[in-house]
Structure 1
Amino acid sequence: MTGMNDALLDAARKTVSTLAANAARTERDLTPAPESVAAVRAAQLFALTVPRAAGGQEANLHTLVAILAELGKGCPSTAWVVGLNAANKSGARLMLSPAAQDAVLADPDAVFCASNVMSRDSNAVRVPGGVRISGRWAMASGSEVASLAMVPVPLPTDTTSAVAMVLVPASDLTVERTWRAAGLAGTSSHTLVAKDVFVPNHFVAYPDADGPAQTLSPEAMFVGGLATLAPMIGAAHGARDLVADAIAGGRAPYMTTYTRIADSPLGRYWFTEALQRTDSAMRRTLWVADVLDALPQGDEMSVTERAQLRIELTTAARECREAMELLLDLHGASGFAEDNPLQRFWRDIAVGTRHPFFTPYILAEDYGRLTFDVTPTVSLAL
């Protein structure tokens, strides 16, 4: 197992109470509460994947997973923003020009958002010194607390149109509050809007230029998968802690002779089933992180090996949902009251574990193709 940064994990634990106290406000306001953002920044957790040379933490994936799971116990939405910020900063080093990378790393504790969702009316026009862009980019998690954004634009070439990645100061963009979802509502995953914004050449990763790759390798894409799954594991653990307190206390199964749920053998068994699923989800996810941490830089895995890792993460996502259902069975209908954090954990897990990275039927189809050598796979990200 790769090393854990215990100091960072301890710093994360100390922020959980602040995140939990502001979780309802974060959801209501559709963006992380200022107090939560301040607590994360004070703990230097927005700098998790920033190189030490740039003032960051340079945390490995094992540490990243553990910290995001810890934050998820308090507020999954805030943990999600921290995770996507970490993944975006990691990806920027592979996708952007050196000058743009320097801009991203200039403030290691700043929030950096990104979107891969490009509307049909997005466009870019080459002009002297750079490009002018217009368009809309949805689901940019952290959009209202970010100072920089990375978005794709279609850029005409001599023969066709290719995609360029551009770095844009958030002050040059507007945010349309389009993310109003049943879960993870507080992630500020809104739509970025640009209207004839000038982007200088050094902030554009041109598709026809020598330099950084325009797309992430399949191995690098796992950072985003881990960054979105870990907060959901944390949410399952947060829900588990709430129900454990209720079980150990005076809560009794309705209309029974028991004085508390803990006196019921099957009640205890039901809880241990949830316990096993949350622990299994964490073990699977940390194992994937360890495999990737141990992979020598620049090495590639086989498509079968990548599929196996993706299935581990998809299984962990399903285990989070299964654990949540068991916990709600134990707690009862009062867990769905608006002032009960349990229902927020439930909704956040239901949404977050259905991120496209965890699409189970496509992964199952591809794994079957690989097993029987019916190639190529259908997933473009595998």
Structure 2
Amino acid sequence: MSIQQARAATDRLLPGLTERLRNRGLMALEQAEPAELCALFRESGAAALLVPTQAGGMGAAPSDTLAVLRAVGSLCPSLAVMMTMHHHTIATIVQLGGIVPAADELLGAIAANQLLVASAFAEGKPGSAIFNASLKASAVEGGYLLNGSKKPCTMSHGMDVIVAGVAPASGDGQGFAVIFAEGSGIVRERFWQTPVLAASDSNALVFRDVFVPDDMVLLAEGEGAEQAAEVAQAASLSGLCWFQLMVGASYLGVASALVERLLGRRGVADLQLAQLAIELEGAYQALLGTASLLQQTDAADPALYSQALCTRFSVQAAIERASNLAVELLGGMSFIASDEVAYLLAASRAIGFHPVSRMAAVPMLADYLRQTTETAVSAGEPAHV
């Protein structure tokens, strides 16, 4: 699917969004107040893109979701980052449907009111402290008090709901909390200093005795802790898998915008354009293939997360190669004459700052390779790697 096909899919699902983004222009959008992008997000209907149809949402297929993120990333990277954070959190909430009473109610409210959802998870790898490094929950009458911080958190001022990873203050455990931002007492503090992707409004959220009712929390402690822990782990794995694919699609859109600026230019050889096509479309097909696998496979399988990470880092490398080549072919005069080329190049590099970092993923991916090789050998198959 080319960038034009991705935009066509976006026009079908979210009519008028790409036209509004084009008309506003890249730099105007990236220098806009975050409230403007939040308004575009809501007005497009995109908040309900991944909400199941039974909850009143669009129930978009993974391929459509990735197309939307790629298309939006090519026109407004900051909005694509906002959408990535929102949609991967929705994917997590969907896993909690029928288990956490607040989850089904929340999905319906998101679809009906175009609520924007931020994520406040402590990033990590499966089996490690995904939740407990972020927020601590202390039990009180009728619910819990949350303390801690999340930084950065995208849509820090514009979100309506926060889904947070929490851990009991009194001991071990993990879980989720759903917090409605209005009236919660959450404090926003400035955190993002660079102009690149500043419109995504990624700042610090500080929780000081923020109250959350019992029915808005799934916490794996005490009686039923083991079952709750399994639910929380499965939901987090699913959300983390989707995050890797969504962030890949969003930044692939940024690289696509750089490459698009080459088309129609004189002096660009077919061989160079072919190389760019291989990088962009090969990466996109990898995202689609892994998304299809995620749909068909138990999302609680840690091996699936390793596969999602392999795809993400492969796509990240393709983005780096394509954007470098595109900027070189555009030439110094294009870099000098317009701030768009420099901005897109800088924005494309931000994929490397999203969790999980390459260094944090190394032990997990090495173990994954060892395990798959050992499994093949024990089955009497050649140990191809």
Alignment-mate amino acid for residue 19 of structure 1: L
The equivalent residue for 1:78 is 79
C-alpha contact (below 8 Å) 1:156/1:162 kept by paired residues: no
Moved more, 181-190 or 42-51: 181-190
Aligned residues of 2:9 and 2:67 also touching (Cα < 8 A): no
User: Retained in 2: the 8 A contact 1:176–1:191?
Assistant: yes
1:136-151 paired onto structure 2 within 5 Å: 136-151=149-164
Equivalent of 2:175, from 161, 164, 179? Answer: 164
User: 1:327 — aligned with what?
Assistant: 326
Q: Distance in 1 between matches of 2:15 and 2:357?
A: 27
Q: Secondary structure at the match of 2:79?
A: helix
Where do residues 211-230 of structure 1 align in structure 2 (5 Å cutoff)? 213-215=231-233, 216=235, 218-230=237-249
Query: How far off is 1:120 after superposition?
Result: 6.6
RMSD value over aligned CA atoms? 3.1
1:5–1:316 Cα change, 3 Å: closer
Alpha-carbon distance, 1:308 to partner: 3.9
TM-superposition CA deviations, 1:16-66 (whole Å, max 9, x none): 24335254344335x6451x4333333321111111122211112111111
Q: Which structure's residues are more often helix, by fraction?
A: 2
- Measure how far apart 1:138 and its partner are: 1.2
Partner of 2:174, secondary structure, is strand
Q: Which residue of structure 2 lines up, in the alignment, with residue 128 of structure 1?
A: 141
- Distance across 2 between alignment mates of 1:41 and 1:130: 30
Tell me which residue corresponds to 2:66: 65
SS at match of 1:193: strand
* Equivalent residues of 2:132, 2:165 under 8 A apart: no
Q: What secondary structure, in the 3-state scheme, does the structure 2 residue paired with 1:317 have?
A: helix
- State how far apart, in whole Å, the 2-side matches of 1:39 and 1:122 are: 30
Show the 5 A alignment for 1:9-28.
9-12=11-14, 14-20=16-22, 21=24, 23-28=26-31
Equivalent residue pairs, number = 348
What CA distance in whole angstroms lies between the structure 1 residues aligned with 2:167 and 2:308?
A: 32
**Aligned AA (2:281):** D
Deviations 1:57-103 (A, max 9, x none): 11121111111111111111101211221111121233572125413
Against the structure 1 CA distance between its residues 170 and 217, is the aligned structure 2 distance closer, same or farther, given a 3 Å change threshold? Answer: closer
Could you state the TM-score of these two structures normalised by the residue count of structure 1?
A: 0.80
Q: Does the CA contact (< 8 Å) of 1:182 and 1:347 recur in 2?
A: no
Query: TM-score with structure 2 length normalisation?
Result: 0.79
Correspondence for 1:103: 106
Q: Which residue number in structure 2 is paired with residue 369 of structure 1?
A: 370
* Identity value in percent: 20
**Per-residue deviation at 1:355?**
2.2
Amino acid at match of 2:139: R
Amino acid at match of 2:118: C
The superposition leaves residues 180-230 of structure 1 with CA deviations (integer Å, 9 ceiling, x where unpaired) of 346433222221122222211111112126476223354453111112111
Q: CA deviation at 1:333?
A: 2.5
Residue equivalent to 1:179: 192
Q: Which runs of 5+ in 2 are unaligned?
A: 123-130, 376-385
What amino acid sits opposite 1:201 in the alignment? Answer: D
Give the alignment of 1:41-56 within 5 angstroms: 41-56=42-57
The match for 1:261 is 267
Distance 1:195 1:338, change over 3 A: farther
Deviation at 1:300, TM superposition (A): 5.7
